[in-house]
């Protein structure tokens, strides 16, 4: 009888150990699924920010010379949706969604009219972009064709979200863009990358993306 009781007790202990292992394994799988879902949601937020960035780049490179005050260095009249230097806060990536709604241009809409021009990016909040002119500098006289009278540098900020409140991606792109010359601007809505616009200068001037980073 004692042997039978010992065997039963050992069996119960073994069953409890196996059940505990199964519970730990199940919890680990659930945690992994949550981690994978969170990672995927952050990827979607970054993709939405990239979509907004592409539209901002196209807008910047589509502006004709007439929209920017010629040769102006400070306090300039700038194209629609382009901010003056030092107008934005130091860390816009930490500004609220409400701040981005007020100050940003919604991806998929025309900055001047607000009309829809493309499918909007997904996410909890629509993706948005902001362009800030950092500085403008005249260029030296050149016989190259096409020549530009000035070169400006810009900060392009883009914000995208995933499905969850914590899934937010904010990127910052530093761009260069020649002004004041006989050259072709890009199209808007965008149909291509910045390459055709920049290629026409044959490396005479900095053009397009100079630096990129994800700020959040």
Q: pLDDT at position 195, please?
A: 74
Any domain includes 94: yes
**What pTM was computed for the model?**
0.81
For the chain, the average pLDDT equals: 86
Any domain includes 6: no
Residue 74 has φ and ψ, to the nearest 5°, of -140, 150
Q: Give 11-39 pLDDT, tens digit per residue.
A: 666 766 666 665 655 665 655 565 555 66
For the chain, what is the domain count?
1
Determine the Cα–Cα distance for residues 131 and 175; give it in Å rounded to an integer.
10
Both tokens assigned to 84: 């003056």
Any domain includes 56: yes
Any domain includes 171: yes
Any domain includes 18: no
| DSSP H or E stretch at residue 56 | helix 2-61
Tell me if 71 sits within 8 A of 150, measured CB to CB. yes
Any domain includes 100: yes
CA 99: distance to chain centroid? 16
Q: Give 67-115 pLDDT, tens digit per residue.
A: 999 999 999 999 999 999 989 998 999 999 999 999 999 999 999 998 9
Tell me if 189 sits within 8 A of 118, measured CB to CB. yes
Q: What is the DSSP letter of 202?
A: T
Residues 6+ apart with CB under 8 A from 184: 196, 197, 200
Q: pLDDT at position 144, please?
A: 72
Give the domain range for residue 91: 46-214
Any domain includes 109: yes
Determine the Cα–Cα distance for residues 111 and 116; give it in Å rounded to an integer.
10
């Amino acid at each position: 009888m004692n042997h039978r009781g010992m065997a039963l007790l050992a069996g119960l202990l073994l069953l409890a150990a196996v059940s505990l292992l199964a519970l730990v394994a199940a919890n680990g799988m659930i945690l992994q699924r949550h981690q994978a879902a969170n990672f995927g949601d952050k990827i979607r937020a970054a993709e939405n920010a990239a979509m907004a960035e592409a539209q901002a780049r196209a807008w910047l490179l589509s502006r004709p010379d007439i929209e920017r005050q010629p040769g102006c260095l400070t306090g300039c009249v700038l194209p629609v949706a382009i901010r003056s230097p030092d107008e934005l806060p130091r860390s816009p990536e930490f500004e609220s969604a409400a701040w981005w709604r007020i100050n940003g241009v919604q991806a998929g809409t025309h900055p001047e009219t607000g009309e829809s021009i493309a499918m909007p990016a997904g996410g909890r909040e629509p993706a948005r972009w902001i362009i800030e002119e950092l500085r403008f500098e005249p260029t030296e006289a050149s016989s190259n064709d096409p020549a530009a009278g000035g070169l400006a540098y810009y900060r392009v900020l883009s914000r995208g979200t995933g499905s969850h409140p914590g899934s937010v991606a904010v990127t910052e792109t530093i761009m260069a863009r020649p002004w004041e010359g006989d050259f072709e601007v890009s199209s808007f809505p965008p149909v291509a990358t910045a390459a055709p616009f920049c290629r026409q200068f044959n490396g005479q001037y900095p053009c397009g993306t100079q630096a990129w980073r994800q700020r959040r």
